[in-house]
């Protein structure tokens, strides 16, 4: 197993390189980069009658026409001096050739140096550190609640397949899955956060403004008080897939020959279910762990972070994409990819803990 883990760790390097390289060149050819946005902002200021008489000479003597930048022509650069365009390019680091920027990025990323945000006035690593607690909070609590509900519920539905309990619980699961998480979040706000009915929970933030001055026990209750609604909104659609996956996995195992043999030998149902079926059925559930983890940590919580004003990693990456804040975009992408690859290795290790008969090293 040790050699297998080492091989997987070595594979992280080319995988990270391929993903970062592909996204780097795709982004470079996409229109609307930071230079384009800066030019558009200056042009808008000119049209509005601002920016022409004070401050640094960003507008210079106007020369009409498009200004070529490398092999591109910035469509919004009419009326700006080429020197102004060059100053903007230098400010955002686009005065260097493409290949130089690429290799500098690779060298920096090897050292986990993601540079500074183009628009936020802070380093990318600092922004990630500030956003990480929110994503960790939503992700861990959502996953914990989802797994604590889904696995026992899925097992019970498999054991009582076709019963009234199975039918009405499936109906509730389908309804929950059909409701978008952001819509459920809005409903929770309307009902429980002063939106017209009850005012039991806060509307925004992870903690109160006076959090630092609270005693330790009040800090715990304040923290839990703030995360109730965001976690509920994240969980509502997440447990449906895992519940049905657990149920179907257990049903497949229950109808296999070894279960019939165990029953013929007189073993108790609980011993058969949790001593034999559980080990085999949980392999499929474990396989879905990395995707579920990444989805709840980053992509699934994006709208929840927006609605509840929580500055997490999902919102950070989304804002960076809209602003074409390339250092933040690539930094968050790098972290997301690295976490996902490491989790896939952890998933394989968990396979062997659940079922020691699995030997990835022998397969290799």
Mean of pLDDT over the chain: 76
212 and 311 in a single domain? The answer is yes
Quick one: average pLDDT of 167-184? 84
Q: Which of 111, 140, 175 is the last residue of a domain?
A: 111
The whole-angstrom separation of Cα 166 and Cα 224 is 32
| Number of domains the chain is built from | 2
With cut-offs at 50, 70 and 90, classify the pLDDT of residue 362: low
**Average confidence (pLDDT) over 70-74:** 44
Q: Which long-range contacts (CB under 8 A, 24 or more apart) does 98-107 make?
A: 98/28, 98/70, 102/21, 102/24, 102/25, 105/20, 105/24, 105/330, 106/17, 106/20
| Whether residue 163 sits in one domain with residue 252 | yes
In a domain, 5, yes or no: no
For residues 136 and 107, state if they share a domain: no
* Span 249-298, pLDDT tens digits: 888 888 888 888 888 888 887 888 877 788 778 777 776 666 666 666 65
CA angle 6, 12, 18 (to 5 degrees): 150
pLDDT > 70? residue 177:
yes
Q: What is the pLDDT of residue 337?
A: 81
pLDDT value at residue 57 = 40
Q: How confident is the model at residue 58 (pLDDT cuts 50, 70, 90)?
A: very low
| pLDDT for residue 85 | 65
User: Given its phi and psi angles, is residue 338 left (phi above 0), alpha (psi -120 to 50 degrees) or beta?
Assistant: alpha
CA 290 to chain centre: 12
24-38, 71-85, 275-289, 307-321, range with greatest mean pLDDT: 307-321
Task: Report the candidate in 97, 89, 84 with the shortest Cα–Cα distance to residue 118.
Answer: 89
Q: What's the pLDDT score for residue 242?
A: 83
Residues 185 and 78 in one domain: no
Give the range of the structural domain holding residue 283, as residue numbers without chain letter.
Answer: 125-363
359: number of Cβ within 10 Å? 12
d(CA 288, CA 350): 12
- Identify whether residues 227 and 257 lie together within a single domain: yes
Residue 53 predicted with pLDDT over 60: no
pLDDT, tens digit, 9 for 90 and up, residues 190-209:
888 876 778 788 877 777 87
Residue 195's domain is classified under what CATH number?
1.10.3720.10
Q: How far apart are CA 60 and CA 327, in angstroms?
A: 29
Q: What is the pLDDT of residues 74-110, one digit of tens each?
A: 444 445 566 666 666 666 666 677 788 888 888 888 8
Which pLDDT score, from 0 to 100, does residue 324 have?
A: 78
12 occurs within a structural domain:
no
φ/ψ region of 258 (left if φ > 0, alpha if ψ in -120 to 50, else beta) reads: alpha
Using 50, 70 and 90 to split pLDDT, how confident is the model at 233?
A: confident
Which pLDDT value is given to residue 77? 46
Residues with Cβ < 8 Å from 210, sequence gap 6 or more? Answer: none
Distances (CA, A) of 318 to 143, 173, 203, 312: 22, 30, 21, 10
Rounded Cα distance between 252 and 250, Å, is 5
Asked if the model's pLDDT at residue 67 lies above 50, the reply is no
When comparing pLDDT for 30 and 48, which is higher? 30
Please check whether residues 279 and 215 belong to one and the same domain.
yes
Where is the domain boundary, 81, 111, 141? 111
């Amino acid at each position: 197993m040790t050699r297998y883990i080492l091989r997987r760790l070595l594979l992280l390097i080319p995988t990270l390189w391929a993903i970062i390289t592909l996204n780097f060149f795709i982004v470079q050819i996409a229109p609307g980069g930071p230079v384009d946005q800066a030019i558009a902002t200056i042009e808008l200021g000119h049209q509005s009658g601002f920016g022409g008489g004070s401050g640094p000479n960003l507008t210079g003597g106007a020369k009409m026409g498009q200004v070529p930048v490398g092999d591109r022509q910035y469509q919004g650069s009419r009326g700006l001096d080429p020197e102004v365009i060059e100053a903007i390019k230098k400010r955002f680091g686009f005065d260097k050739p493409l290949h130089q920027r690429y290799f500098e990025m690779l060298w920096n990323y090897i050292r986990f140096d993601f540079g500074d945000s183009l628009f936020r006035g802070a380093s990318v690593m600092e922004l990630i550190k500030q956003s990480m607690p929110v994503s960790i909070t939503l992700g861990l609590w959502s996953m914990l609640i989802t797994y604590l509900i889904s696995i026992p519920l899925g097992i019970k539905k498999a054991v009582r397949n076709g019963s009234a309990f199975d039918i009405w619980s499936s109906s509730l699961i389908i309804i929950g899955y059909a409701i978008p998480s952001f819509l459920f979040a809005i409903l929770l706000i309307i009902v429980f956060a002063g939106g017209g009915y009850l005012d039991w929970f806060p509307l925004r933030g992870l903690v109160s403004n006076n959090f630092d001055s609270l005693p330790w026990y009040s800090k715990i209750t304040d923290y839990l008080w703030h995360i109730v609604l965001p976690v509920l909104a994240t969980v509502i659609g997440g447990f449906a897939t895992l519940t049905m996956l657990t149920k179907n996995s257990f049903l497949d195992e229950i109808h296999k020959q070894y279960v019939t043999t165990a029953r013929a030998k007189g073993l108790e149902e609980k011993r058969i279910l949790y001593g034999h079926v559980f080990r085999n059925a949980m392999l499929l559930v474990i396989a879905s762990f990395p995707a579920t983890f990444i989805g709840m940590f980053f992509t699934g919580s994006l709208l929840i972070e927006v609605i509840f004003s929580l500055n997490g990693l999902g919102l950070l990456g989304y804002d960076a994409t809209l602003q074409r804040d390339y250092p933040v975009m690539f930094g968050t992408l790098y972290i997301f990819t690295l976490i996902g690859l490491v989790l896939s290795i952890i998933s394989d290790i968990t396979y062997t803990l659940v079922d020691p008969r699995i030997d990835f090293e022998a397969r290799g």
